[in-house]
Structure 1
């Protein structure tokens, strides 16, 4: 068989959550590219797989991708894994896959565990339409703006910032439903669901440990539109503070957001 890259989903917690296809691919590959070779070695050892591994993480992906693509061109199979879940999804591997596609090389994906999908399934929040935004920004205002959308949103959050994030959301709407999914599939898995103000108080009292996936109920379409308008107006104000003329700033932001320059210009003066 010609060379290829095989993207392998690995357990997000429970080590038994790995598919037979992934185990076979890891055993048959010529090399396994890992986010952390020591972490992956525990998975390989558990299943009796003796395989050569190399590191592929955010600091060396650009350089290492070229080496791995040369191996694929030579007919070898490269198995790509991250520490947990599906590689590329808020994990290393995106550059390697993109480069392989650009070069016309074969990329095969073996589905399996995924924290965002697992969180959606267990959260108890309707998600006919949902989006994944990766790790949340650090500033509370940026978090609120990012989550002001009608779709259910799934995000990763640091346990050290979770309470601040929940409080920022509660300040906008204390009744908005969220689910904090902690340590998914692990021994101490916990899902805390309810109005964001209540969930914030719960974790402010008990503290937060482990890996956190946050599921946030979407806002009403009218509220989402209002939030978008507020972000656009704030952008105009910042441009003006930086020295731009108000009409110019309004026109530029309107072109970027699809809004009305006249409405933004008028709102800026009304706010002043």
Structure 2
């Protein structure tokens, strides 16, 4: 039993399960807006399973491909895919099991979800390749998480709406923006290994400025999401809170690079949760 629990903990560490908090709120934001309220217990369960299996697939695939890179990075050398706790075959089996799980969940959601399931897996798996030849990898990661709202509205209404696309583009720039800040930690390693990232190509100052531009675009697209979805007062408060939290994130990183983890995990984690609850309140009262 202890051996099984240890292995489960290793997989948990492999995919950094707690980071699911970044995509889950935006799936349910889209589902709430599409349903104009409660969308049902079955879709709640299926939405959670879809988000987790998709993310586990993406992270597992990334860790499988990056075994050589992670072994040469002091920040990642103790990951389970490097230190021997999980074999390459175990990671591969885990990855494809989650891919199949995601497709199976999509089958139970609706026909459009099933049709889109394979293209979604291809997109979210492509991040691992892009960083080997293009600095646009940050945007690919953003697109991967940005698919969450579209998946949410497809689950509820089996359509893709304008407001869900605007919300998704906002999520894309939000994720790409904070990924730029997070990747500042690896700028020297990226240069040494010849990996393509915006920090290694454009430097620290330019990276921080690009991140600010991305986060400004986040606010713009989220604002138009609220407008096109006929959001009320609480939805506009969500935009204001997002401005304050993203500004605080950049303040932390500008002040002290050692605060990158706090900016990445804490601020962005709370942003998604607060945004979700404000949209929920907006749906209830408007």
TM-score, length basis structure 2: 0.25
TM-score, length basis structure 1: 0.26
Q: By percentage of residues, which structure has more helix?
A: 2
Higher relative contact order (CA closer than 8 Å, sequence separation 6+)? 2
> Which structure is larger by alpha-carbon Rg, 1 or 2?
1
